[in-house]
């Protein structure tokens, strides 16, 4: 078992599954108390097997690019169990062999962006004769601190862009490989240009070579052994600054010692490439396939690996979704993979080749979407006509109901008017009390009950109607009640 190095950046979080034995129920607590009082041996809550399978969320884990050694335990807490077995799996379909210690630690050496992903570790053991398993889930992301070096080299040559130039570039890379190992860095040839020289354009050419220096070569972090997150991140930054200066001095010395490169071979004539200029530019940009997503709170300027469905070209600082027609199935992709001919993705951000479908299906779906406005325009006049007819019919029925209700109201009003007219004709004047024998009739009148016109009995009144009123009533209706004379009134008394 190799010694663990300080390469872990994670905050363990233990969240038992809701179905797991977290808290005893009320009945279990009562049973525990009763058994304790009776003197029987009781098991503590955390000793009860309960559910034989538990699920835990281990948290996010950040591993620096090209870490010399990274050790991830199966459980983020110390567990004392007898004869446990460990099983690590990754969420990818492709099978992979893992380096696991006897303590169940997953070992990464020279961590790469493609090692990122979702990992799970299941620890199995026996407890009280019952098989128990606990599974811990981790999301692992690669990252790197900022720091790099761009180098520009100018060489004089008699030839330009032919087989001799290609041979020269291969020879240059072979000689620089020894420098990479010594300085714990990586040198990438990013571009070459060839153009005529200003001094002698017809017989002299300039070959421009651009090199990108990555400071995260093998064993670059051999001095950073701290287990503390903040201390190890600070150590990474200091190491990058130190390595920048060392690599720059080493390259300057190298091209002073290798001023001229002699190229020869059986199939090409002999030629020389003479170095005339070496320039350096310190950079603070993310590597290809990384972006500043600010997921690592303790290092907000660090570059985090781009997840599947996104990409980040070199010299960019953001992970962008794959455009339509492309996909990226793994972590740390600089450029998305185009779909096969005649296929396209429905939306940006595809993470699998299965997301690529034939263009004909997309065209059919797009044509249907485009036809919807045309269909709406065709159906709109019909809908407007139906709405207009509905409004007319509603107005017609409203008008008809209004006419019927108006006629009924007029009939009722007519009847009421006639009744009032008849009643007004039955208003009989009363004769007031006489002050003396010579006193005339008074102007007081009394209303006659309308029931008298229907043959009802009329109560006697103190005053007698005048002959004029009697004759008028007889002339208006034949059904008027008979008028009592004075002699009749005496008989009634």
Return the minimum-mean-pLDDT range out of 20-24, 83-87, 132-136, 261-265: 20-24
pLDDT, tens digit, for every residue of 448-480? 343 333 344 444 444 444 444 333 433 434 444
pLDDT reported for residue 200: 74
pLDDT reported for residue 466: 43
Residue 240 has pLDDT above 60, yes or no: yes
In contact, 120 and 149? CB cutoff 8 Å: no
pLDDT, tens digit, for every residue of 382-415? 888 888 888 888 887 777 777 777 666 666 666 6
Residue 209 has pLDDT above 70, yes or no: yes
pLDDT, tens digit, for every residue of 258-268? 889 988 877 77
Q: Which residues pair with 278 in a beta bridge?
A: 153
Residue 487 has pLDDT above 60, yes or no: no
Instruction: Report the percentage of the chain scoring pLDDT > 70.
Output: 67
pLDDT reported for residue 77: 85
pLDDT reported for residue 338: 94
pLDDT reported for residue 310: 96
Where residue 309 falls (left for φ over 0; alpha for ψ -120 to 50; beta otherwise) is left
CA–CA distance, 463 with 234 (Å, rounded to integer): 126
Residue 114 has pLDDT above 70, yes or no: yes
In contact, 20 and 50? CB cutoff 8 Å: yes
pLDDT, tens digit, for every residue of 52-63? 888 888 889 999
Confidence of residue 427 (pLDDT cuts 50, 70, 90): low
Where residue 59 falls (left for φ over 0; alpha for ψ -120 to 50; beta otherwise) is left
pLDDT reported for residue 298: 83
pLDDT reported for residue 329: 93
Return the minimum-mean-pLDDT range out of 21-25, 104-108, 316-320, 424-428: 21-25
pLDDT, tens digit, for every residue of 158-197? 878 778 888 899 999 999 999 999 999 999 999 999 888 8
3-state secondary structure labels for all residues of the chain: CCCCCCCCEECCCCCCCCCCCCCCCHHHHHHHHHHHHCCCCCCCHHHCCCCCEEEEEEEEEEEECCCCCEEECCCCCCCCCCCCEEEEEECCCCCCCCEECCCCCEEECCCCHHHCEEEEEEEEEEECCEEEEEEEEEEEEEEECCCEEEEEEEEEECCCCCHHHHHHHHHHHHHHHHHHHHHCCEEEEEEEEEEECCCCCCCCEEEEEEEEEECCCCCCCCCCCCCCHHHHHHHHHHHHHHHHHHHHHHHHHHHHHCCEEEECCCCCCCEEEEEEEEEEEEECCCCCCEECCCCCCCCCCCEEECCCCEECCCCCCCCEECCCCEECCCCCCCCCEECCCCEEECCCCECCHHHEEEHHHHHHHHHHHHHHHHHHHHHHHHHHHHHHHHHHHHHHHHHHHHHHHHHHHHHHHHHHHHHHHHHHHCEECCCCCCCCCCCCCCCCCEECCHHHHHCCCCCCCCCCCCHHHHHHHHHHCCCCCCCCCHHHHHHHC
pLDDT reported for residue 331: 94
Q: Which residue has the higher pLDDT, 468 or 90?
A: 90
pLDDT reported for residue 161: 72
Q: Which of 163-167, 196-200, 203-207, 302-306 has the highest mean pLDDT?
A: 302-306
Confidence of residue 369 (pLDDT cuts 50, 70, 90): low
pLDDT, tens digit, for every residue of 213-236? 999 998 899 888 776 777 888 899
Confidence of residue 362 (pLDDT cuts 50, 70, 90): low
Q: Whole-model pTM?
A: 0.63
CA–CA distance, 221 with 70 (Å, rounded to integer): 12
**Mean of the per-residue pLDDT values of the chain:** 75
Return the minimum-mean-pLDDT range out of 3-7, 188-192, 367-371: 3-7
pLDDT reported for residue 398: 77
Q: Which residue has the higher pLDDT, 3 or 241?
A: 241
pLDDT, tens digit, for every residue of 27-54? 333 333 333 333 443 333 444 444 588 8
Confidence of residue 416 (pLDDT cuts 50, 70, 90): low
The stretch 245-249 carries a mean pLDDT of 94
pLDDT reported for residue 129: 87
């Amino acid at each position: 078992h190799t010694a663990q190095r300080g390469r872990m950046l994670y905050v363990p979080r233990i969240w038992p599954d809701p179905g797991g034995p977290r808290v005893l129920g009320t009945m279990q607590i009562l049973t525990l108390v009763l058994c304790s009082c009776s003197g029987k041996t009781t098991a503590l809550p955390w000793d009860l097997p309960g559910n034989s399978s538990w699920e835990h969320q281990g948290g996010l884990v950040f591993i620096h690019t090209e870490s010399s050694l990274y050790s991830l335990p199966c459980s983020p807490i110390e567990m004392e169990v007898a004869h446990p077995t460990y099983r690590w799996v990754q969420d990818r379909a492709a099978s992979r062999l893992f380096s696991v210690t006897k303590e169940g630690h997953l070992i990464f050496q020279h961590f790469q962006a493609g090692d990122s992903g979702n990992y799970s570790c299941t620890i199995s053991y026996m407890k009280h004769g019952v098989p128990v398993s606990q599974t811990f889930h981790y999301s692992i992301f690669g990252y790197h601190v900022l720091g790099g070096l761009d180098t520009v080299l100018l060489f004089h040559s008699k030839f330009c862009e032919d087989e001799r130039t290609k041979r020269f570039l291969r020879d240059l890379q072979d000689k620089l490989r020894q420098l990479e190992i010594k300085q714990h860095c990586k040198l990438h040839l990013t571009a070459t240009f060839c153009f005529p020289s200003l001094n002698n354009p017809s017989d002299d050419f300039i070959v421009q070579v651009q090199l990108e220096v990555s400071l995260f070569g093998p064993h670059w972090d051999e001095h950073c052994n701290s287990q503390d997150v903040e201390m190890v991140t600070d150590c990474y930054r200091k190491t990058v600054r130190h390595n920048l200066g060392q690599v720059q001095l080493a390259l300057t010395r190298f091209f002073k010692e290798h001023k001229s490169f002699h190229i020869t071979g059986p199939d090409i004539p002999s030629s020389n490439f003479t170095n005339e200029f070496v320039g350096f530019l310190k950079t603070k940009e993310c590597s290809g396939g990384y972006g500043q997503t600010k997921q690592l709170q303790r290092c907000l300027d660090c570059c985090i690996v781009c997840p599947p469905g996104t990409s980040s070209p070199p010299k960019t600082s953001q992970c962008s979704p794959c455009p339509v027609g492309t996909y990226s199935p793994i972590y740390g992709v600089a450029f998305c993979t185009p779909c096969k001919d005649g296929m396209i993705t429905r939306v940006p951000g595809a993470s699998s080749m299965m997301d690529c479908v034939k263009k004909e299906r997309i065209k059919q779906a797009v044509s249907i979407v485009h036809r919807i406005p045309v269909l709406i325009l065709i159906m709109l006049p019909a809908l407007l006509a139906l709405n207009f007819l509905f409004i007319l019919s509603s107005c017609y029925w409203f008008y008809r109901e209004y006419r019927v209700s108006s006629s009924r109201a007029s009939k009722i009003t007519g009847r009421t008017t006639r009744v009032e007219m008849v009643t007004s004709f039955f208003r009989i004047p009363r004769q007031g009390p006489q002050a003396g024998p010579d006193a005339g009739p008074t102007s007081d009148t009394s209303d006659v009950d309308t029931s008298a016109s229907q043959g009802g009995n009329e109560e006697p009144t103190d005053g007698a109607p005048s002959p004029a009123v009697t004759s008028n009533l007889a002339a208006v209706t034949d059904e008027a009640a008979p008028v009592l004379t004075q002699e009749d009134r005496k008989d009634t008394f």
